[in-house]
Amino acid sequence: MASAKALVRVLDHGMEVESGVRRPIRLTPDGYAGVAYAGSVYPLRQGDLIDLDGSSWELADCDRFLFAGAEVPYAPIAGEPLEKASGFDVEWHLETNQYGHYVVFNASERVASSLVSALEGADLSVQRWDVSHRPADDGNFYDWFARLRLKGSQAEALTLVGAVIAPPASLAPAVPVTDPTTARLADAEARIEELLNQLYVATRKGEAAERELTQLRHDLANAEASEHRYQGSVALTERHHSDLQEQLAVLRQGMGGMADTAELVKSLADAEEIRELALAENSLLLERARAAESEAAESGARADDLAAQVDALLGRVSELEALETERLRVATAQRPRRGGVIEFLPQAFSRLDFVLDAVDVIASLDSPASMMRALAEIDSGRLVGKELEGMRGWYEVTKLATGIAESELLDRIYYKPDDQRVLVSVHIKQDDKQQRRHIERLRAF
């Protein structure tokens, strides 16, 4: 958007020294309108006039311009008493974080300056205030922020700031109207956080169930291996018992000695005892194996149920992520559009026509501050620099900082006033031969 401009009358001690001076309207540090004249910025008063006998600012302190179509915040007449602030009808919020207390609020430039002055007047020192470019901790975007030097608690800061913005004697604050879309998106954000917490808990439970199931499967495998070993032992014991029975039968029929018979009977009794112990141990292992299989089945069912819950939660999270994307799109659409260098230059310098590769050169600068100051002076109608030798009507501004390594102070502006327009070319000098070629290209204009 182009800047607002005014045809200014210039006074000095009340006497008119010049009239019809066309200047873009700047914004001074106290929030009032001002225009640049003779290297300084003077406050613009009602009737589009400035007084050289009054106060002024450096150009660098007034680097913001008033947009075209906006209401001009004229400066009061010198010596005129200012109306004491008795509260401000603004939407505001106090954010406290690790860096300190921040008052964020919506207001015009003039009201914002008055509010900061009122905070300073109430012994609430403001470390810095400027345009706000991020959402506050309540999720809302505000026009301005003011960082306080106060080191007290949030409750103390809230009380002191509230006494300035909405003192007890002022009118009751208006009840804010809640935007249904904002409320719905806030609810969606809260629901997303709740679902993410549920998803986290369900994931932890699923992981624990998975570990438990793995352990049960391991125990079941061990029990099956033990069962197999004991079944082998039982089979071996039964074969040994059968052999002893056959030997006993043979001995009973024969004429063998009584000592061998007693020994065989004892061996048979020992074999029976071993077989009974093996059978009892095998029964216990089988019971533990069946219990482990049952627990594994239950854990598998719980794991499947948790997996289904996780899938459902992921589906809901995807849906809410879509809502969040829509919210960000709406928030982004509501922000002021910011163009690049190609759109900025015609808006900032309405009288300048950039020729050759001037726009690309400006866009490549790492430190364009000195370049912008020189262009602003040229746009305001001042003749800066010196005449370009051998090029009638052309002027040259040299030794402008570029911020580019090995090219410091090699930036140049060539410009040619042409009635109400000014032709401008920007060039970074590399050597004399290359500079002469660039100047020769300017002869075509």
Are both 91-165 and 341-442 of the same fold? no
How far apart are alpha carbons 120 and 127 in whole angstroms? 10
Tell me the pLDDT of the chain averaged across its residues.
80
Average pLDDT over residues 275-283: 72
Burial class (CB in 10 A: 0-12, 13-18, 19+), 345: buried
Between residues 339 and 149, the one the model is more confident about: 149
Please tell me the pTM assigned to this model. 0.29
**What tokens does 167 get?**
């003192």
The yes/no answer on whether domain 182-334 falls in CATH 1.20.1630.10 is: no
How far apart are alpha carbons 199 and 201 in whole angstroms? 5
pLDDT band at 168 (very low <50, low <70, confident <90, very high): low
For the cut 90, the answer to whether the pLDDT of residue 102 exceeds it is yes
Residue pair 183/100 in contact by the 8 Å Cβ criterion: no
Partners of 16 in the β-ladder? 11
CATH fold, domain 91-165, is Alpha-Beta Plaits (3.30.70)
pLDDT band at 178 (very low <50, low <70, confident <90, very high): very low
How far apart are alpha carbons 72 and 44 in whole angstroms? 9
Mean pLDDT lowest among 28-37, 186-195, 375-384: 186-195
Average pLDDT over residues 200-223: 84
Average pLDDT over residues 222-244: 82
Question: What pLDDT is stored for residue 294 in this prediction?
Answer: 85
Q: What is the CA radius of gyration of the chain?
A: 44
Average pLDDT over residues 21-32: 86
Question: What pLDDT is stored for residue 111 in this prediction?
Answer: 85
Which positions ≥6 away from 221 have C-beta within 8 Å? Answer: none
What are the backbone angles phi and psi of residue 412, rounded to the nearest 5°? -135, 150
What are the backbone angles phi and psi of residue 99, rounded to the nearest 5°? -95, -15
pLDDT band at 238 (very low <50, low <70, confident <90, very high): confident
Mean pLDDT lowest among 29-43, 145-159, 242-256: 242-256
Burial class (CB in 10 A: 0-12, 13-18, 19+), 323: middle
Question: What pLDDT is stored for residue 138 in this prediction?
Answer: 92
Mean pLDDT lowest among 195-199, 244-248, 341-345, 363-367: 195-199
Question: What pLDDT is stored for residue 194 in this prediction?
Answer: 59
- Per-residue pLDDT tens over the stretch 367-418: 788 888 888 888 888 888 888 888 888 999 887 776 665 555 567 898 999 8
Per cent of the chain over pLDDT 70 is 82
For the cut 80, the answer to whether the pLDDT of residue 248 exceeds it is no
CATH fold, domain 341-442, is YaeB-like fold (3.30.2310)
Between residues 144 and 3, the one the model is more confident about: 144
Partners of 131 in the β-ladder? 144
Q: Where are the domains of the chain?
A: 5-65, 91-165, 182-334, 341-442
